[in-house]
Structure 1
């Protein structure tokens, strides 16, 4: 080789190495490739009228009918197994008069039946509404009212929750069915009883049974779904939002195709990959990203009924898991578990999810020898995602990396100044939003003008006012449209983006978003409450924020010790019965004076959040939620337990 040419090549390589080190071009290019591929797929599928999410599953059935699609509690299901089962169930729905465009509410735990039911509905172009299996009472009724579905399908294990509200549910026009077989239901009640004892046991009769097992296995042609458009819902997925009751985010077929295609590429999954999912399928992370990527890539899903620290690495080893999905709380539980020979005896090469906190990231990746952590930030109703394919220490802690190539392809991500008391966006003299500088915290806005597949905003089903409230017009130029995420982030000069906190009236605890307005309304119903405001507070060593309620009581209670003790006991019983476990405030503060409000009568929470449960700042009486399921006085001894990491919250 010519010495001059060799020198030129060496110089070019050196420059390339330097530029890649500075701008992370390799990482940037990997993200861009995945994004462009998914966008091209979107356009091709739309052109060919091949939009239905079910068609991606069907393609795998044709490509590998006898390959293993799903493993659940040691039982394997091939792609053909799931196809035939979902055919049977689809015929049952058709026999009940369910037709294209109808909606079916599903309240189910993780199991193959969840996936089979979803597939059955998709193949006949029916929309499932995924109801959170931890809700009850007024929240459940609200969720069903929003969905306006024909049928309500639930696991029999959830029957007591359903029965408690059965009158209101039927008043909404719902027919109720359990997905649990009649044989299994009878077994639950009768298996351990004598013949005489069985006569005195009455099985509830407020529901019917989804008797699908003996239906036809005949399939449904693709023409049944030809009318399905990218903007049609593939599922309604409930999110807490920033105020009030849950909202039903529309997860349309377009976003399903984009997300599953892109994620399959970014996390490098293939038909031989084994992906472990322990997250609930009623959330978009578990269903759309977790299960959905399998329909696109052909990988095998290893599904757990729920997350278990004890079984996690055992399952990863037993099933040769190559990828697993996480939320930050899950990773913290694993890191806090005692060291084990199983810690590095697995074949996992990628962990993907969101909420991995910086304080455990390095420990997690090093202890369990995970080469790649793919952290992402997105929302069920969102119009974009932040992505961080973390393979080095430099990457750890960030929810996203936006190098020059990513910013060129997806420019619509802005961090802007916001008033933390009023939650209003700051505007300059021209009326436009004000972007924050490097390392300055601001609210994330994402482009929602609908001009590209990624910037389509669908909002919430059957809630137009709430959908519109998330949008900001004329944010940076006249005529633009952005979506408010309600989340606070900051970014560095080298374009690593970091999550700071949740703005507004939502905080995250135990992997769930909690609406403070919803909880405050619930607690305000207890006799003796004059006013109540709920907010999230930081707890050392814990992910997210624990709920705390500042309560002003009526004078007759605050001045009487016995009455106060009785109130605390009644409040504990009330929240234990009426709220999901993750939503129960871990602290209550009995305020001696009225809470300060804004001009629009919203409680000012900034100072309350700052004070948290710090006994040096809070002079009011405080109580905390104990493992016994009740509120007890909170003092220095209890505070020391929390600070030492010994308290169970």
Structure 2
């Protein structure tokens, strides 16, 4: 009896050890939803692929249940169905037919969702135009979409008026979706646009059979890239990919109709629309939609609406962590948060402060042919964008990290001319299988931009005849976890070493006083050995004081000045921390104290182009600058120091 008990204990201990070593249970937790999703996808691909039909399924199952909550008002599934029927009839009255495109230049609102549903049910395609753009970028986006109609929120009229001649030259007819009663009477006869006037039209539905000819490659929307490095590109999101993505999120996170999801992300982006709204059409989970992200209202909305799931992207969590501490920080019902871009320096801070134990971090791109997922509730895997055990690799083999020349961004080939795969711990570029042999690995590319699409592809990567897509992102893997390192163009060389801007920013992010920062490389006159690191830092509010007599700092409020004593203390701590935590070559040689927030995209990605152009040029930068000195600390950088630098006498 004793020996039997001892054997059982030994077996259990071995099982626990084996699971800890191989993380088999984690592997299985991803594999099971993956298998279910594949079976589900195969079923609907054969018979019922339209993404709209997933919404219609919920209307049949729970017509009078809450589907959407927005600014205190609720819409049932039936409410959204009837409204989208009316709007679909309006689109048809304007001649919109299957596969026609309609540009949507709108803010987050139920009308955005209703318009998308209306277009989906008549098999037309929405082009989601970023509501933060204007001028040449807006014209480029509209030209790429090549649509017939542009529907917009009246609040965005000024951006359209700025480019009205160019928009009309493109042949667009403009209609505002904003009700007439919410528009000032003096502009009712505006020559640039008309009112949609859809709400009084027929609510008759559209037979499911009318969408029986939809195939997986048909577009559900054009979604534009963030434009951090230039003009945005329009990625084609199709029925197969959107169904797969929303199913995976719903399956891995075990989302049901009993949950409530909070979505404050822009709906013109794939995270906000395809994942944030799409998972609801799969799971039946009501979505609490916010007009935009706000640190002030975020947790209040979550508490008041009994939210159980929150969605994040990019720096959103950093903003919440930097907000003033509230006694109610942990008073909520959130069981899980899902999204992408949660950086390691914020990950555990967020969990500790707000008590959200489980995080589902994902890595994907609108145009990508695959994705990485990491569901974790503890320290194991914190900061990783994905986990790939043996089971996951079996079902999803087409992800590789390959060697790249960081100066030229060219892939490094082996003696046979094939890509060289990185060893564990070695940073390289992620490439994903794009062979079009399965629905999961199809590469669709960018709409109306064949050259840019082809530039993303590599032929004969590992064997003759294969095809992979370049992501442009640098990753590394360790113990089954995959970690994001940087964008390929952001990593630079200094003193013969590769410097990851993301890793440096994450490290500096632990210094108390920093609200946000971004790191980039700048050219030094006379220096041929790469680029020097520079960090633009936004300090927390307590570093600023009302002091009209102090030294002027160019800020939004001319009466707002830096607290000099606090700044000096911060620079001392930053110097000590950088010296201790960063290799000497990775320490930023310049620090720029920003007087206002960093410029970001609508998806909270830092825009670095202008910062790189300005560098440390004192004719362009009128904010406080510091540089790294041989004494191992940061000192003020001004005209005298600039003269030394330009004369080649500086020791960097």
Q: Scaled by the length of structure 1, what TM-score is found?
A: 0.79
Q: How many Å separate the matches in 1 of 2:516 and 2:370?
A: 24
State how 1:595-634 maps to structure 2 within 5 Å: 620-621=617-618, 623-624=620-621, 632-634=622-624
Matched residue of 1:258: which SS?
helix
Q: How many Å separate the matches in 1 of 2:465 and 2:434?
A: 11
Q: How many Å separate the matches in 1 of 2:469 and 2:336?
A: 31
- Unaligned 5+ runs, structure 1: 191-197, 508-534, 553-575, 591-612, 625-631, 644-649
State how 1:230-379 maps to structure 2 within 5 Å: 230-240=216-226, 244-379=230-365
State how 1:392-407 maps to structure 2 within 5 Å: 392-407=378-393
Preserved CA contact (<8 Å) 1:38 1:257: no
Counterpart position of 1:40: 39
Preserved CA contact (<8 Å) 2:457 2:470: yes
**Shift, 1:310, TM fit:** 1.0
Matched residue of 1:484: which SS?
strand
Aligned length: 543
Q: Does 1:179 align with 2:164?
A: no
**Shift, 1:588, TM fit:** 5.9
Instruction: Encode CA deviations 1:247-290: one digit per residue, 9 max, x unaligned.
Output: 11011000111111111011121001000001100000000011
Preserved CA contact (<8 Å) 1:622 1:633: no
**Shift, 1:390, TM fit:** 1.2
Q: How many Å separate the matches in 2 of 1:450 and 1:587?
A: 39
Counterpart position of 2:15: 16
Counterpart position of 2:112: 114
The alpha-carbon distance between structure 1 residues 502 and 637, as it changes in their structure 2 partners (threshold 3 A), is: closer
Q: How many Å separate the matches in 2 of 1:162 and 1:122?
A: 25
Q: How many Å separate the matches in 1 of 2:104 and 2:12?
A: 56
The alpha-carbon distance between structure 1 residues 235 and 422, as it changes in their structure 2 partners (threshold 3 A), is: same
**Shift, 1:218, TM fit:** 0.4
Counterpart position of 2:535: none
Q: How many Å separate the matches in 2 of 1:490 and 1:420?
A: 15
**Shift, 1:397, TM fit:** 0.8
The alpha-carbon distance between structure 1 residues 382 and 642, as it changes in their structure 2 partners (threshold 3 A), is: farther
Instruction: Encode CA deviations 1:27-48: one digit per residue, 9 max, x unaligned.
Output: 1111111211111111111211
**Shift, 1:538, TM fit:** 6.0
**Shift, 1:318, TM fit:** 0.3
The alpha-carbon distance between structure 1 residues 138 and 113, as it changes in their structure 2 partners (threshold 3 A), is: same
1:63 aligned to which of 61, 64, 73: 61
The alpha-carbon distance between structure 1 residues 408 and 137, as it changes in their structure 2 partners (threshold 3 A), is: same
Q: How many Å separate the matches in 2 of 1:53 and 1:73?
A: 26
1:156 aligned to which of 144, 154, 157: 154
Counterpart position of 1:636: 626
Matched residue of 1:262: which SS?
helix
Matched residue of 1:343: which SS?
coil
Instruction: Encode CA deviations 1:103-130: one digit per residue, 9 max, x unaligned.
Output: 1010101000000000000010000000
Counterpart position of 2:480: 495
Q: How many Å separate the matches in 2 of 1:305 and 1:448?
A: 36
Q: How many Å separate the matches in 1 of 2:361 and 2:34?
A: 16
Segment of structure 1 superposing worse, 239-248 or 82-91: 239-248
Counterpart position of 1:473: 459
Counterpart position of 1:144: 142
Instruction: Encode CA deviations 1:129-152: one digit per residue, 9 max, x unaligned.
Output: 000001111111111111111101
Q: CA RMSD in A?
A: 2.9
Preserved CA contact (<8 Å) 1:243 1:506: no
**Shift, 1:13, TM fit:** 3.0
2:441 aligned to which of 443, 455, 467: 455
Preserved CA contact (<8 Å) 2:228 2:607: no
Q: How many Å separate the matches in 1 of 2:516 and 2:473?
A: 16
Counterpart position of 1:25: 24
Matched residue of 1:342: which SS?
coil
Matched residue of 1:19: which SS?
helix
Matched residue of 2:87: which SS?
helix
State how 1:209-228 maps to structure 2 within 5 Å: 209-228=195-214
Q: How many Å separate the matches in 2 of 1:505 and 1:221?
A: 50
Q: How many Å separate the matches in 2 of 1:238 and 1:412?
A: 25
2:518 aligned to which of 534, 541, 545: 545
Instruction: Encode CA deviations 1:553-579: one digit per residue, 9 max, x unaligned.
Output: xxxxxxxxxxxxxxxxxxxxxxx99x9
Instruction: Encode CA deviations 1:489-530: one digit per residue, 9 max, x unaligned.
Output: 1111x11111110113799xxxxxxxxxxxxxxxxxxxxxxx
**Shift, 1:547, TM fit:** 7.2
Counterpart position of 2:645: none
Preserved CA contact (<8 Å) 1:623 1:634: no
Counterpart position of 1:514: none
**Shift, 1:64, TM fit:** 0.3
2:611 aligned to which of 576, 579, 587: 587
Q: How many Å separate the matches in 1 of 2:116 and 2:523?
A: 42
- Unaligned 5+ runs, structure 2: 493-500, 510-514, 526-597, 638-652
Matched residue of 1:635: which SS?
strand
Q: Scaled by the length of structure 2, what TM-score is found?
A: 0.78
Matched residue of 2:251: which SS?
helix
Q: How many Å separate the matches in 2 of 1:391 and 1:349?
A: 10
Matched residue of 1:344: which SS?
coil
**Shift, 1:181, TM fit:** 1.3
